[in-house]
Structure 1
């Protein structure tokens, strides 16, 4: 007697092979049989030729700081995601100390979905042990953040680490890897990661190589200096021998559009000729999302959010900041000049200035009675770290080019939102958008290749045993969807909308979503490296 039999499915098994008709049986959390299945089951699901695929793996999500507050991570679950990778872009909530906890919490406030952060752990091991005790909606894995290690070892400062500070970072990294971290993420665009250099990163990469860990990089510059930034990531791999993962690969700024052809060729050549294990992830949108503080030059952010706010109150310093935003600085990715205008900066979440939420910066400036940059600085100053914004700097053709690369897997870059906290629609729509817009409508990918990029490719990349492929004996993490109707419906006006066409989601052999609604089942597990 099986637990579930899926009858008459179009099976897309995750390997990239063509779909085929068949049945699939689940028992005790695993796939028990595939083919023409006889015998009974506690539940028989008639698939009516809808697609049955492995559960999707989100390679890039930002639930790390709030996972203990929203363990269901419903926005991902409802898309068909059954496994997610968090702790991305350089800042993780562990390891942490009393001395720096408030500063780190304030910095990541834009990604807290309006929640009051609660971090009862100190070590990375304690963090993972806490997660292991939670009723998780989907399976969870995480990196430790380079920025967090740097803050603990040397503070929120612009300098090279001393020998002792570097030893401290390496020791903390080893502790995290021993506890099961997937690797180390960096945010070389953000303070304090922006102050780390290739010497520092290469030394940390050697620790990762000892454990088979991944060096996952939000690169230093995804605009004018993107080629140099990719080269920096490759150099870390040369020096250390660790695996390399380029986060959300893209290029911003009209004059830079098309450079992804060069960067993809660089990575493919590095794999082919140098044996560097480099891959990448991507979200399928032309707008990014991050803190509004991304328009500030790095020097203005030394010391953390509170120090930044104090600088913005000083008229002379504020004038210097505005000048740098207008003219730029060498090697700094100036987010504001990469967009075509203030209309392309969207204000998602500014809770202390709610009159601006949902507007673009040009609209907010008109209401505020100041120029757009002055308005942005006031919003930053008033919102105390809670300032989520979107930047429309990318090209649709580049999105398609990156998506086609054999190195690319899918990651939502979810910065969580809710019915009351606006966010980028990618948090609710990424996977359905790939299947609807880029597979069915625009035929950028075949259905089988898109599913592979969401399943077996990341499972193999991150060593998720039992995940990513529909074979007998594999974990019964499954998604059933209608390939003719699946689509994302979340947008920049109403971001908290679940996709259409997702019939059922199964996590660990238990039905977690059915008919567009959650069942209340929480069967996710912590996945340690």
Structure 2
């Protein structure tokens, strides 16, 4: 559908290139930017215009690390991102995508720990895209295909090395997904079944990308073995073509201060010819499924196997022994039970309380509180973990190749998810650009627009220039801020009055106008 001609006046442009803000008028016709001129150059006669005086006009933000794969399948519109000025999301991160699926191995064994309940009516990746295309998109949709999803379709939740047949099935699934329009391959190497995969398995799979694709990874370790994990990611990414490190961090007090060393390693690899970049979220707490608190040996097998293990007397003792030895990754990273907040549960019980609080209230050991929640919720629970240091986050933000991703839980889970789901992008512009001066505003905008558009090959987005799609956001640099916190996260931000997609206004005065005006995008060649 054609959109009307519109002249945008009065704003200062942060055009995505990190050049200083400048006053300019922007002409939009048929959904594209057709002119960017000094104020008054474009005759306003008979042109509908919008006065953006006092606001900064920027390209629509790109969330490079989203888990909103299920957003098109919801009966309601997911507005968590569009109200932040995000017009494009890269989904399918951390090895979790919603396709391909297999009749032999139920995908729910993987997805139900992260996503709200889903009815799988598709099998291949093209089938999934047909389904989501029909449902429509609030934001533009750039899907990755997940290694864990490919592995489950081939061999279930097995901890074993794939045999030749399973390997062929995984490669065929990836090839079909890339042909259907996937943007790349993702992995989540702390989650089952991917945590059982060897480097060689992932490198063999990455061969399907032919040296011209992108490998996006939640690395195997973000604590004491962070540097080794970067080495592994580079090996796999070199086969794929490009490497992208998800939510770069150093988790745990014993590892704080490691991010500058990680950046040195990354930049040295880049100097040696590797194409590598990274993203962060602007918070010092992480969030993931609550089963990630368990040691690897507990995570093999399906839901019934894990629940039986947790409810057996020997399983409880083994788990307590593992925690005492500091074996589970999250506890090895430090912080203790009072740093683990229950974020969402299927029943909504215990949300917003730490495991230490739950244990004290029940008069039990924290390990028993953890087991009780996981068993009661049939593993459908998530946590927030306070594990990072501000200095490491700021170091990551200063690197020129760092992009921004929300890493929020999939929409529709309810509860008290990490506030990054609602506030990531205004938080960067408010707290870290305006208030702390970590990035100047034009550079902060570049990290959320032109840089991710280039790295992920997102077509015709990320800049305000003639020929680009008119995905735009206008914000007040003096007032833009995130609102929610860990106890009350579900609040839209302040200071983002207007958003448009392909020239169509979709947010007015900070309110979503309804409808799904995004598109599924195809990677640029």
- Report the TM range for the smaller structure's normalisation: over 0.9
Residue 340 of structure 1 pairs with residue 335 of structure 2: yes
CA distance in 1, matches of 2:46, 2:381: 50
Contact 1:309 1:381 (8 Å CA) reproduced: yes
Provide runs of 4+ in structure 1 moved above 6 Å: none
Contact 2:60 2:86 (8 Å CA) reproduced: yes
Q: In the alignment, which of 7, 14, 18 is matched to residue 9 of structure 2?
A: 7
Contact 2:207 2:240 (8 Å CA) reproduced: yes
C-alpha deviations, 1:390-436, integer Å up to 9, x for none?
A: 10000011110001111210000011356952200000000000000
- Compared with structure 1, are the counterparts of its residues 519 and 366 closer, same or farther at alpha carbon in structure 2 (3 Å cutoff)? same
Contact 2:215 2:240 (8 Å CA) reproduced: no
CA distance in 2, matches of 1:183, 1:355: 37
- Compared with structure 1, are the counterparts of its residues 209 and 40 closer, same or farther at alpha carbon in structure 2 (3 Å cutoff)? farther
Deviation at 1:70, TM superposition (A): 5.5
Equivalent positions of 1:471-510 (< 5 A) are 471-510=465-504
Aligned to 1:75: 80
Aligned to 1:235: 235
- Secondary structure at the aligned position of 1:501 is classed as coil
CA distance in 2, matches of 1:497, 1:482: 18
Q: In the alignment, which of 94, 97, 113 is matched to residue 99 of structure 2?
A: 94
Contact 2:100 2:150 (8 Å CA) reproduced: yes
Residue 467 of structure 1 pairs with residue 433 of structure 2: no
Deviation at 1:165, TM superposition (A): 1.8
Deviation at 1:116, TM superposition (A): 2.9
Aligned to 1:278: 276
Contact 1:4 1:41 (8 Å CA) reproduced: no
Residue 27 of structure 1 pairs with residue 29 of structure 2: yes
Deviation at 1:437, TM superposition (A): 0.2
Mean alpha-carbon deviation: is it higher for 299-308 or for 310-319? Answer: 299-308
CA distance in 1, matches of 2:113, 2:72: 15
Residue 105 of structure 1 pairs with residue 70 of structure 2: no
- Secondary structure at the aligned position of 2:368 is classed as helix
Contact 2:150 2:173 (8 Å CA) reproduced: yes
Residue 244 of structure 1 pairs with residue 239 of structure 2: no
Deviation at 1:40, TM superposition (A): 4.3
Aligned to 2:132: 131
Aligned to 1:374: 368
Contact 1:209 1:243 (8 Å CA) reproduced: no
Deviation at 1:339, TM superposition (A): 3.6
Q: In the alignment, which of 421, 424, 427 is matched to residue 415 of structure 2?
A: 421
C-alpha deviations, 1:246-269, integer Å up to 9, x for none?
A: 011101110101111111111111
Structure 2, unaligned runs of 5 or more: none
CA distance in 1, matches of 2:413, 2:315: 38
Contact 1:432 1:499 (8 Å CA) reproduced: yes
- Compared with structure 1, are the counterparts of its residues 40 and 28 closer, same or farther at alpha carbon in structure 2 (3 Å cutoff)? farther
CA distance in 2, matches of 1:347, 1:42: 53
CA distance in 2, matches of 1:376, 1:424: 19
CA distance in 2, matches of 1:443, 1:465: 31
CA distance in 2, matches of 1:60, 1:165: 28
CA distance in 1, matches of 2:267, 2:81: 30
RMSD: 1.7
Deviation at 1:338, TM superposition (A): 2.1
Structure 1, unaligned runs of 5 or more: none
Deviation at 1:241, TM superposition (A): 4.8
Contact 1:108 1:385 (8 Å CA) reproduced: no
- Secondary structure at the aligned position of 2:81 is classed as helix
Deviation at 1:345, TM superposition (A): 0.6
- Secondary structure at the aligned position of 1:34 is classed as strand
C-alpha deviations, 1:156-208, integer Å up to 9, x for none?
A: 11121222221221111111111111111101110000111111111111112
Aligned residues: 518
Aligned to 1:220: 220
